[in-house]
Amino acid sequence: MTHARHILIGDVHGCLTELQALIDRIAPQPEDIFIFLGDLIDKGPESPGVVRWVRHFAEVHQVVLIEGNHEEKHRRWRHHMRQGSPIANTMTGIERMAALTQALNADDIAFLETGQLYYCMPQYQALAVHAGVPPAIESLPADPREIAAYPRKRRDVYMQMLRIRFVSPEGKLRHLGDETEDDRYWATFYDGRLGTVYFGHQVFMTHAPVAFAHAVGLDLGAVHGGFLAAAILSDDGVTYILEPARQVYA
């Protein structure tokens, strides 16, 4: 049996030119499934353009959007705005979030909000997620939408898949910049129980995807002048395509 190619794409962050060039090099075929690992938006030059381009691309190709922490924050802000909640005014980056919302139409926003927490690829024993897998997660429901119905505390554990980086010896997540010498990056001790994890979020300014024992980091810092990376999973194995950034945007 042959399986469709599954193409995983790291954090785009508004790098539309690089995304178009990368997709050209991938040469999409009708049965391909494209999985964006989150953070289409922010930091880079063309966030609204990327959202719209991917939305149109999704009209002719199979596309799965993983929600990144940037999309999640914009979504929370829009929610608070709609509710008229004062929390909306306490968030950082209000101008940026308002500008993006202003530049997008209702279809673009609806498309962004299709972002899901993860995507399982049992045929490749692989999992796509934005940031990673917290140590407390032993298994995942087949449908990530089930998690929204979990009680708050349990749900919060799963929501860590959006932002996890370093973990303390007690299993607590560290914020960026707060990590100590005893903390470990999640992928360095992830045991593969949910398959090989393809993830973005953590910028690696390297010339190849970063391979851990059971995880592969695909955010090679396109927006920082690195590469926009894609992993192509097929029955022939995994191949990578790296599209160099045209400039340092952030």
Indicate the residue among 5 and 50 with the shorter CB distance to Mn ion: 50
Which single residue is written with the structure tokens 């705005």?
81
Smallest separation (angstroms) from Mn ion to the CB of 238 = 22
Indicate the residue among 39 and 243 with the shorter CB distance to Mn ion: 39
Indicate the residue among 5 and 16 with the shorter CB distance to Mn ion: 16
Smallest separation (angstroms) from Mn ion to the CB of 70 = 6
Contacts of 18 (CB under 8 A, 6+ apart): 12, 222, 228, 243, 244, 245, 246
What is the distance, to the nearest Å, from the Cα of residue 37 to the centroid of all Cα atoms in its chain? 3
Smallest separation (angstroms) from Mn ion to the CB of 3 = 28
**Size of the chain, expressed as the number of residues it contains:** 250
Smallest separation (angstroms) from Mn ion to the CB of 38 = 7
Q: Crossing angle of helices 69-83/94-103, nearest 10°?
A: 90
Indicate the residue among 11 and 46 with the shorter CB distance to Mn ion: 11
Contacts of 26 (CB under 8 A, 6+ apart): 7, 32, 230, 232, 241
Cα gap 174→160, rounded to integer Å: 11
Indicate the residue among 11 and 67 with the shorter CB distance to Mn ion: 11
Indicate the residue among 96 and 141 with the shorter CB distance to Mn ion: 96
β-partners of residue 65 are: 36
Alpha carbon separation from 188 to 3, 179, 220 (Å, rounded): 29, 15, 18
Smallest separation (angstroms) from Mn ion to the CB of 11 = 4
Smallest separation (angstroms) from Mn ion to the CB of 93 = 14
Smallest separation (angstroms) from Mn ion to the CB of 118 = 16
Q: Which residues contribute to the site for Mn ion (CB under 5 A)?
A: 11, 39
Indicate the residue among 69 and 196 with the shorter CB distance to Mn ion: 69
Q: Which residues of 87-115 are buried (b: 16+ CB within 10 A; e: fewer)?
A: ebeeeeeeebbeebbeebeeebbebbeeb
